């Protein structure tokens, strides 16, 4: 794989850019792999990448029924933060945030990481108490956050209205090293690195069945034929329950659509990410000038990837009070992503009842920010047949034992 650099750009400019290689190889499935990963989104590709980089396992296939990064990885609002309350959550999200900081250099691919900072607004006295508690917990966890007052919020985000008639801004939880990244570039960067290690990325390859013998996984049946494997990783977000059923077990999750929209491009007016859980919305400005706006999940189970008028009206109405300028913008486009939500709003990174089969799911509305840490932890679990320190608390057994990791406030409403 040729490295990207300023010198390479200059060289290719002199020969009309005819010398660039494909970012990743177009592969056909082999008969057998050491590991098959189902799902070529951010989490699946990150898992494959860290299997190769950290554990030397490179006879790997990544199967995708659609196109690479065409699921939730390309359908989110790109927020990155790690200010979660519970220790296991803070650990894996902080690992992820730190990996984002060096991802462009590690992958030799510009993922456009922008540590612009994230504010979680406190608009009720209950939220003030909750965010102060989270700030104290983060201090103990080694996560850099602080609770700030309304004046500092206004300084960081001048377009905000502090004196909303229903929910005035009383302060906020500020993480200066949070931010955003380009979601497509994250998937493309991991794919390029995986392909360079000799892994096969196979698109338009739908898994139709999971084959087992004596309680151990033997392979998968796909639209491109049977593929044998020693280990299987299921990393398919909202379709996790479908794949689990093929493997013979059930998951404590439900799938719902999470919707978002962007406005027409405007001049730069907001250089931080603002989340407002009370009024149920969050907003940032993209590099192209669009206001990226998102809200909560649908109130019913579904697999749709389309937006709806109901959510445009609900989300924009909520944000107009806090950001009056939103009322003057036109919508450019909207979309939905299928998220899988657990009862405690925390993920599942776990071995399964089928020997040799591992699962990564349940990230709900917070999947994008977790991609590097999730891949790191899942790769470690697959390589060693046991979850490591980052994944240990997120096993399936916690639901049977009643050992929940309750992040409903941090993850259940907004990103």
C-alpha to C-alpha distances, 139 to 133, 145, 190, 346, 405, nearest whole angstrom: 10, 7, 32, 21, 19
The domain 118-179+255-342 is classified under which CATH number: 3.90.1150.10, 3.40.50.200, 3.40.50.620, 3.30.9.10? Answer: 3.30.9.10
At residue 243's C-alpha, the angle toward residues 237 and 246, to 5°, is 170
Mention every residue, 6+ apart, whose C-beta is less than 8 A from residue 168.
123, 150, 162
Residue entry with tokens 């994250």: 186
Domain boundaries, the chain: 29-82+84-108+183-252+344-411, 118-179+255-342
Q: What integer best gives the mean pLDDT of the chain?
A: 93
| Position 165 pLDDT exceeds 90 | no
**What count of other Cβ atoms lies within 10 Å of the Cβ of residue 370?**
25
Residue entry with tokens 């931080």: 272
| Position 159 pLDDT exceeds 90 | yes
Helix (H, G, I), strand (E, B) or coil at 146: strand
Q: Rounded to an integer, what distance in angstroms lies between the CA atom of residue 165 and that of residue 409?
A: 23
| Position 413 pLDDT exceeds 60 | no
pTM value?
A: 0.95
Tens digit of pLDDT for each residue in 285-344? 999 999 999 887 888 888 888 877 777 888 888 888 899 998 999 999 999 899 999 999
| Position 361 pLDDT exceeds 60 | yes
Residue 59 in contact with residue 47, Cβ under 8 Å?
no
| 29-82+84-108+183-252+344-411 under CATH 3.40.50.300, yes or no | no
| Position 408 pLDDT exceeds 80 | no
pLDDT over 70 percentage in the chain: 98
Tens digit of pLDDT for each residue in 51-65? 999 999 999 999 999
- Facing residues of 227 across strands? 220
Q: Rounded to an integer, what distance in angstroms lies between the CA atom of residue 18 and that of residue 13?
A: 9
């Amino acid at each position: 794989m040729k490295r990207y650099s300023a010198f390479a750009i200059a060289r290719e400019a002199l020969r009309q850019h005819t010398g660039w290689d494909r970012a990743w190889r177009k592969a056909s499935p082999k008969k057998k792999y050491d590991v098959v990963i189902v799902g070529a989104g951010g989490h699946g590709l990150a898992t494959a990448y860290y299997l190769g980089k950290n554990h030397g396992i490179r006879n790997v296939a990544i199967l995708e029924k659609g196109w690479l990064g065409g699921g939730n990885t390309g359908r989110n609002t790109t927020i990155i933060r790690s200010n979660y309350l519970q220790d296991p959550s803070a650990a894996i999200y902080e690992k992820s945030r730190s990996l984002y900081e060096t991802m462009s250099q590690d992958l030799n691919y510009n993922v456009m990481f922008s540590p612009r900072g994230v504010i979680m607004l406190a608009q009720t006295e209950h939220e003030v108490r909750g965010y102060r508690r989270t700030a104290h917990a983060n201090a103990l966890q080694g996560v850099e956050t602080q609770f700030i007052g309304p004046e500092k919020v206004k300084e960081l985000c001048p377009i905000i209205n502090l004196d909303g008639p229903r929910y005035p801004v009383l302060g906020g939880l500020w993480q200066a090293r949070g931010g955003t990244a380009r979601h497509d570039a994250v998937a493309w960067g991991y794919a390029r690195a995986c392909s360079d290690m000799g892994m096969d990325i196979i698109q338009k390859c739908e898994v139709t069945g999971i084959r087992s013998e004596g309680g151990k996984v033997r392979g998968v049946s796909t639209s491109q034929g049977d593929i044998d494997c020693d280990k299987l990783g299921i990393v398919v977000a909202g379709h996790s329950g479908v794949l689990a059923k093929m493997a013979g077990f059930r998951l404590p999750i439900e799938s719902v659509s999470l919707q978002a929209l962007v406005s027409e491009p405007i001049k730069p007016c907001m250089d931080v990410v603002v989340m407002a859980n009370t009024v149920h919305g969050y907003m940032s400005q993209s590099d192209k000038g669009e206001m990226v706006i998102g809200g909560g999940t649908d109130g019913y189970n579904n697999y749709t990837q389309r937006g709806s008028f109901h959510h445009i009206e609900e989300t924009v109405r909520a944000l107009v009070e806090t950001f009056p300028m939103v009322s003057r913008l036109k919508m450019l486009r909207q979309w939905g992503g299928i998220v899988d939500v657990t009862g405690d709003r925390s993920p599942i990174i776990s071995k399964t009842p089928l020997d040799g089969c591992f699962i990564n799911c349940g990230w709900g509305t917070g999947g994008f920010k977790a991609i590097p840490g999730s891949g790191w932890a899942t790769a470690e679990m697959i390589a060693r047949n046991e979850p490591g320190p980052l994944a240990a608390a997120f096993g399936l057994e916690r639901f049977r034992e009643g050992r929940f990791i309750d992040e409903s406030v941090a993850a259940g409403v907004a990103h």
